[in-house]
Amino acid sequence: MERLHSVRPIPGSQRFQLSFDPLTAHQIIDESFTRWDEYERSCSGFQISSAARRILSLDEMTSKPEEIASRCLRAILAPISAGAAIEDSDDFSIFQSAMEHVIPSILEEEYPWWRYESLDGFLFAVARKVGPEEALFIGLCLLISDQTWTPLHLRLRIAPQSDNIEWLVCRLGESGTGNGGMVRTPYGSSRQTTKLLNSVVDRLESIAWAYAITRGSSPHAA
């Protein structure tokens, strides 16, 4: 089970900077509490990244992935205008980690095959605020079972007064002969990955999507 995003040595010291998976951080703390406690008392041992500090709060540790994703997306969208690109940040990293769990669980409601698959990352050609509490993502997602990329189109709106997804449309995977009926591009093939990522935006409406699901009533319905 993945528990750390990364462990990096801090130059000139014998300490390390750890980036935690927000959805399993509590397991790390349960197993390493003595070292965490020592850090809090003496500021020695581990240096915890700002993202890890935030998600290690009791509130975050007991939250569901959808709540974490909604909370982070709200923080991302609040300071930017509609049409603005979403830039890399701690909140965006945590949002993506949570959505790795949220998307398969939603797909599973209609496609039982997703009980046996999950996601392990994203590459976005488009990540943009498109309205109040609403964002659009176009790009690729990494399938965890064999570490391959496949296209993704995701648009979602979070509820204004609660930490949940109010409306979502997700299209995932280009129909093909690979496992799950999808075209799969190997993770290590950077040339193929770049070519596929650049093509998804142009082909968005012509892609034969393997999976498509909508949750909630579209705010754009006539």
Same domain flag for 76 and 140:
yes
Q: pLDDT for 201-213, tens place per residue? A: 999 999 999 999 9
Q: Is residue 12 part of a domain?
A: yes
Average pLDDT of the segment spanning 104-113: 94
Whether residue 97 is predicted with pLDDT greater than 80 in this model: the reply is yes
Same domain flag for 150 and 56:
no
Whether residue 69 is predicted with pLDDT greater than 60 in this model: the reply is yes
Same domain flag for 180 and 89:
yes
| CA–CA gap between residue 55 and residue 60 (Å, rounded) | 5
Task: State the pTM of this model.
Answer: 0.75
Q: Is residue 222 part of a domain?
A: no
Question: Which of the listed residues 30, 60, 90 is the one where a domain comes to its end?
Answer: 60
Confidence of residue 130 (pLDDT cuts 50, 70, 90): very high
Total count of domains within the chain = 2
Q: pLDDT for 9-64, tens place per residue? A: 444 444 444 555 555 544 444 334 334 444 444 444 444 445 545 544 434 444 58
Same domain flag for 52 and 72:
no
| CA–CA gap between residue 193 and residue 13 (Å, rounded) | 37
Same domain flag for 39 and 133:
no
Same domain flag for 117 and 146:
yes
Percentage of the chain exceeding pLDDT 90: 57
| CA–CA gap between residue 147 and residue 143 (Å, rounded) | 5
Question: Which of the listed residues 60, 80, 100 is the one where a domain comes to its end?
Answer: 60
Same domain flag for 94 and 186:
yes
Question: Which of the listed residues 43, 60, 77 is the one where a domain comes to its end?
Answer: 60
Same domain flag for 23 and 133:
no
Same domain flag for 52 and 68:
no
Q: Is residue 170 part of a domain?
A: yes
Strand partners, 20: 4
Concatenated DSSP letters of 36-80: HHHHHHHS-SEEEPHHHHHHTSHHHHT--HHHHHHHHHHHHHTTS
Same domain flag for 176 and 87:
yes
Same domain flag for 89 and 188:
yes
Whether residue 93 is predicted with pLDDT greater than 50 in this model: the reply is yes
Domain limits for position 50: 4-60
Q: Is residue 158 part of a domain?
A: yes
Whether residue 180 is predicted with pLDDT greater than 50 in this model: the reply is yes
Q: Tell me, what's the pLDDT at 220?
A: 62
Same domain flag for 89 and 193:
yes
